[in-house]
Amino acid sequence: MTDEDADEKGRERLVDWLRRERDAHVSGGLYQVTQIRFAFNSNHMEGSTLTPEQTAQLYNTGTLLAEAGEPVRADDVVEAVNHFRAFDWMLDHVDDAVDEHLVCALHATLKRGTRQENDPRYRVGAYKTLPNVIGAGLSDTATVLPADVPDAMGHVFSLYAQLHDDPFDIACAHWMFETTHPFSDGNGRVGRLVMFKELLRINAMPLIVRDEDRVLYVRGLSEFSSQPGYLIDTLLYERDYYRSLVARFTQNQVRCTYNDHWSRAQVESVASGGGITNPFVRKDHMGEHRGVERCHADADILPARKHRRHRL
């Protein structure tokens, strides 16, 4: 064993650092910063009106001071608090397998106490029963139909079970979850919590997708099957951001891998050949499933990636 290996083994897991700060009620540390920034960004991307300052105030004091003359939606407050709780629950279940129970528990926690909880159309804590799309606007992205969600999610669970610190694999697993869109609402927030959890599980650098990068992130999701580089590089960019927080607050005392190398040519050659699809998304609601069986490319299709970083 080299000195470097021994030093790495002696470092604390990032998830243990976060749990330790939480349990010790450390103020101003990595855990607190992660809670506030993760909740603000993930909720604001989905339409929350709370500001970063209001989100921090809710976390720190449990109270909220509204801007002069500006209404505050009750569900925005509830979902911010629920995100704090969902993050804590996730930390306690980092090493659990991603399965239906886990994702439904996260969804139920995020939506508890909201208006949707008492609306049967939304099925809080359970898979959707009505079709939905990503975007609900001019550039809707098709998702898996309700009847196909259990099988599609089984595929998602398999991708996460095989996950390692590879930029393409990380982006692909997240994209598969989002294009499945298993819930009536809250899919982005649940998907980003699952991605954070799984990167912690494999001792890799996690990420927070920032609201300021929403356009890049949404474009990456919508174009992943044809131009996977947008999502891959966006997620790497957000990992860079979170890595800077980890370095600042832990002084490099945690054990965490970060592989930011991938080959654009190799990945996009798979995309151009039709090899990156969600096989459970139908061409139209009356059509057949898309033709390929895997989003995760086989080793003989996608050879070992060159150590080359591509940025936006």
Which amino acid makes up residue 46?
Answer: E
Closest CA to 269 of 303, 233, 230: 303
Contact 288, 168 (CB under 8 A): no
Rg (CA), the chain: 19
The residues facing 142 across adjacent strands are 133
Residue in 44, 107, 181, 289 annotated catalytic:
181
187 annotated ligand binder:
yes
Q: How far apart are CA 186 and CA 195, in angstroms?
A: 14
47 annotated ligand binder:
no
DSSP character at residue 130: S
Chain mean position to CA 163: 14
Say whether 307 is catalytic: no
264 annotated ligand binder:
no
Write out the two tokens for 121.
Answer: 């159309």
Which residue do the tokens 């629950």 mark?
Answer: 89
Query: How far from 271 is each of 110, 229, 268, CA to CA, in Å?
Result: 34, 10, 5
186 annotated ligand binder:
yes
Q: How far apart are CA 71 and CA 53, in angstroms?
A: 15
DSSP character at residue 48: -
Write out the two tokens for 181.
Answer: 């869109």
The residues facing 13 across adjacent strands are 255
125 annotated ligand binder:
no
| DSSP state letters, 36-100 | HHHHHHHHHTTT----HHHHHHHHHHS---PPTT----HHHHHHHHHHHHHHHHHHHTTTSPP-H
Backbone angles phi, psi at 178, to 5 degrees: -70, -35
Annotated binding site: 185-192
Annotated binding site for ATP: 185-192
Which positions are annotated as active-site residues? 181
